[in-house]
Amino acid sequence: MAASIPVSTSSSQSATGAAPQVAAVCVAGMHRSGTSMITRLLHVCGLHLGDEDQMLGPQADNPRGFWENRQFVLLNDAILSYLGGGWDLPPVISDPEQTWQQVLALFGDEAADLVAGMPADRTWGWKDPRTSLTLPFWYRLLPGLHTVVCVRHPRAVAASLQRRNGTSLPYGRNLWLQYHRRLQQAVQGRPHIVTHYESFFTDPEVELNRLLAWLGWSADRERVARACATIDASLRHCRGRSVHLPGGAGADHLRDTYAELCREAGPVHAVVRSGQGSRKYQASLVMLTHNALPFTRQCVASILAHTRPPYELICVDNGSTDGTPAYLASLANQHRQITLLAGQHNLGFAGGNNRGLAIARGHHVVLINNDIVVTPGWLERLQDCSEQADNIGIVGPMTNNISGPQQLPRVGYNTRTLEGLDAFACAQAARCEGIARPYWRAVGFCMLIKREVVDVIGGLDERFERGNFEDDDFCLRALLAGYETWLAADCFVHHHGSQSFIAAGVDRSSCLQANWTIFKQKWGIPASVPYGASYDLTPHLERLRGMDLIYQPLPGGAKSSLTAAAETLWRAGKKEVAIAHLTRVLRIHGAERQAVWQLGQYLHELGHLDKATRLYTGYLLRHPHDESMQQILNFWRGDQASPSASRLSSSRA
């Protein structure tokens, strides 16, 4: 049996240029929690992981590589198998002390030989999520081992496992809980640091420097910047938020464990948790009203009762005469997050909603009719669906009364009295948790839109006036701009249906036919196609792409907002997403000067000098008198000294 191996401070220089304070490091945490990314960052900064031929190569589910030493993985697998488990089935251990002494007797010599092959003059380590389950063995072998605990939201981990392995969401959350509870027990009283996956998409350099300081390494700024440039936000497919963890068996343990880990995750994640440095409101709810006061009261009551994330409610009244403006004004006086935009005239569905969109401040904007009734967890579920991928721009819920696939064939509650509505919605959420699918449109009775979509394509097209087809039109414009629409099966919202039309005495059928004619003219559909008939627009989409078709300005809006979203994304560490956003802007709006300037600066900062140079060169061919852009281009080419910061800016000289 191998004796424990002393792990002490080495006097040699690490690759960062500072004397290492730690000899051995292990990176642990649940699978799909960013352990590979974090290990890669540490490796770039000097952590030795083994010879190249010992490393596992990249695969489809981890294209940047696993950064795992094959020998450590095989040994952990053998230990878990001996204990009657595996990576996906944590073994039951009734007598930990006796069990781990037996494991040390059986596998200690093999592990000692593996450790002996590591350098004695620099910090070395390994990454393997399985170590979360075998740490007591490694601590017996390496008493001075330091552990990096990688944390990611359990909902995001479960969704990522589901994508890769086809496992259920409850299974993924339970596995997350088992991994982290065992990790917490193992690292208690031992050198460890907790880092959160999201911190590396918020302020990666600060978080990486925190890890390096814990290791006793002085930060080489160039090396840290080079490491952080390898972070690829496009691979961050599944996300979650601490405000929304499901109920059910073990839910309290899950929430408590995650909250405890988040509290240890450092100052960057503390900013993420508190919402500082981001928008005050996660969501802006824009509710359009025109009479139908009883339904408005019911809608607002459900929002106040069932909406947990920070939100603002923007009430846009389209000239109501039934006491609605007075009721909404009273609400605005009582609740700081409620704003009233009262109007003397009916601006229609598109015009009224655009007034609200123009002042909305949330990361998500949700258009809601005043004749809906929301249910527990409704907003979180729409948000969760939208954050599963960067190209999901619009999300709609399921309901009882609407056209298309959002209407459930049967509902288990009284649709007149709404008795049993909340219970039905919760059962629907549990039955369909995490299930969503893409569709070409979501109906505007309740439609969540990412802020960046509004920044890129503007608001609703007001040529549709009273209502109908402006939501279809908006979804198609978003699709042309690169954003998909999804329907969240686990979110249910009741819809009374057409109450504002009824209150206004509008013939909905004639309005629908009139707007169908407008929609056909705009999108090139033959006039002979009747309402309700299917028609494939796909062959026409590329031909239809263009600024006049896609962008609809908001009241008082300017195109400066087109680049503001990219700046927000860039500062949040979503650098590849920011570049993709600006690329969309240029594709839709042509050579918009601010977007060209910003994209060139971002490309240059990430080391894509050729792309940045080509971008500016192309712009200058059309705008040869832009002195600022010409000057920075000359500098990149080496034709002149560095331009003066006081003379050079993103505006024209």
* pLDDT beyond 70 at 341: yes
Per-residue model confidence (pLDDT) at position 96? 94
Tell me what the mean pLDDT of segment 247-259 comes to: 75
pTM (two decimals): 0.65
Selected residue with higher pLDDT from 392 and 3: 392
Cross-strand partners of 450:
364
* Mean pLDDT estimate for the chain: 84
Per-residue model confidence (pLDDT) at position 595? 86
pLDDT band at 209 (very low <50, low <70, confident <90, very high): very high
Selected residue with higher pLDDT from 377 and 164: 377
The most confident of the ranges 1-10, 88-97, 380-389, 518-527 is: 88-97
Least confident of 223-232, 329-338, 551-560: 551-560
Per-residue model confidence (pLDDT) at position 645? 35
* pLDDT beyond 90 at 145: yes
Per-residue model confidence (pLDDT) at position 416? 94
Selected residue with higher pLDDT from 544 and 364: 364
DSSP state, 314? E
Least confident of 358-367, 502-511, 620-629: 502-511
pLDDT band at 279 (very low <50, low <70, confident <90, very high): very low
Encode pLDDT of 488-521 as tens digits: 999 999 999 876 666 655 666 777 888 888 888 8
pLDDT band at 123 (very low <50, low <70, confident <90, very high): very high
pLDDT band at 381 (very low <50, low <70, confident <90, very high): very high
Per-residue model confidence (pLDDT) at position 559? 46
CA-closest candidate to residue 398, choices 475, 264, 495 = 495
DSSP state, 157? H
Angle between helices 131-141 and 169-187 (to 10 degrees): 20
Q: Torsions phi, psi of 518, nearest 5?
A: -65, -45
pLDDT band at 278 (very low <50, low <70, confident <90, very high): very low
Distance of CA 25 to the CA centre of its chain: 30
Looking at domain 24-274, its CATH class is: alpha beta
Encode pLDDT of 562-572 as tens digits: 677 677 667 76
Distance of CA 208 to the CA centre of its chain: 21
* pLDDT beyond 90 at 407: yes
**Percentage of the chain modeled with pLDDT above 90:** 50
Cross-strand partners of 495:
372
Per-residue model confidence (pLDDT) at position 572? 62
Pairing of strands 283-289, 364-369: parallel
Q: Exposed (0-12), middle (13-18) or buried (19+): which is 334, by Cβ within 10 Å?
A: exposed
For residue 242, the one-letter residue type is S
List all residues 6 or more positions away from 480 whose beta carbon is below 8 Å from its beta carbon: 541, 544, 545, 549, 550, 588
Cβ pair 240, 581 in contact under 8 A: no
Per-residue model confidence (pLDDT) at position 1? 56
- Given CATH 1.25.40.10, say whether it is the number of domain 561-637: yes
Strands, sheet with 146-151, edge to edge from the N-terminal-most edge strand? 124-127, 24-29, 146-151, 192-196
Both tokens of residue 142? 């390496």
Report the distance separating Cα 650 and Cα 563, nearest Å: 12
Least confident of 71-75, 387-391, 578-582, 648-652: 648-652
- Look at phi and psi of residue 622 and say left if phi exceeds 0, alpha if psi is from -120 to 50, else beta: alpha
Per-residue model confidence (pLDDT) at position 542? 60
Both tokens of residue 484? 């998909």
For residue 417, the one-letter residue type is T
Q: Which residue, chain included where needed, has tokens 């409620």?
A: 338
Per-residue model confidence (pLDDT) at position 269? 76
Distance of CA 205 to the CA centre of its chain: 20
CA-closest candidate to residue 199, choices 265, 143, 155, 246 = 265
Encode pLDDT of 428-460 as tens digits: 999 998 889 999 999 999 999 998 888 878 899
* Cα–Cα distances in angstroms (integers) from residue 580 to residues 234, 271, 390, 576, 606, in the given order: 10, 25, 10, 6, 13
- HSE of 542 in the Cβ direction (CA atoms, 13 Å)? 1
CA-closest candidate to residue 461, choices 324, 313, 348 = 348
Per-residue model confidence (pLDDT) at position 643? 45
Encode pLDDT of 64-106 as tens digits: 556 899 999 999 999 999 999 999 999 999 999 999 999 999 9
Q: Exposed (0-12), middle (13-18) or buried (19+): which is 587, by Cβ within 10 Å?
A: middle
Report the distance separating Cα 481 and Cα 473, nearest Å: 13
Per-residue model confidence (pLDDT) at position 282? 83
CA-closest candidate to residue 381, choices 484, 500, 486 = 486
Per-residue model confidence (pLDDT) at position 299? 97
- HSE of 204 in the Cβ direction (CA atoms, 13 Å)? 27
Encode pLDDT of 40-55 as tens digits: 999 999 999 998 888 8
User: What would be the CATH architecture of the domain defined by 283-550?
Assistant: Alpha-Beta Complex (3.90)
Report the distance separating Cα 621 and Cα 300, nearest Å: 55
Both tokens of residue 622? 């059309």
Per-residue model confidence (pLDDT) at position 537? 77
pLDDT band at 574 (very low <50, low <70, confident <90, very high): low
Q: Torsions phi, psi of 33, nearest 5?
A: -110, 15
Per-residue model confidence (pLDDT) at position 194? 97
Per-residue model confidence (pLDDT) at position 543? 58
Per-residue model confidence (pLDDT) at position 114? 94
Domain residues of the chain, as ranges?
Answer: 24-274, 283-550, 561-637
Q: Torsions phi, psi of 339, nearest 5?
A: -125, 140
Both tokens of residue 599? 């994209």
Report the distance separating Cα 148 and Cα 125, nearest Å: 10
Is residue 510 within a helix (H) or strand (E), and if so which, with residue range? Answer: helix 508-523
Selected residue with higher pLDDT from 513 and 320: 320
* pLDDT beyond 50 at 298: yes
Encode pLDDT of 164-188 as tens digits: 888 888 899 999 999 999 999 999 9
* Cα–Cα distances in angstroms (integers) from residue 596 to residues 217, 450, 490, 624, in the given order: 39, 23, 40, 14
Per-residue model confidence (pLDDT) at position 12? 33
* pLDDT beyond 50 at 326: yes
Q: How many other C-beta atoms can be found within 10 angstroms of the C-beta atom of residue 401?
A: 17
CA-closest candidate to residue 386, choices 231, 238, 574 = 238
Buried b (16+ CB within 10 A) or exposed e, 253-275: ebeebbeebbeebbebbebbbee
Q: Do domains 283-550 and 561-637 have the same CATH topology?
A: no
Report the distance separating Cα 231 and Cα 239, nearest Å: 16
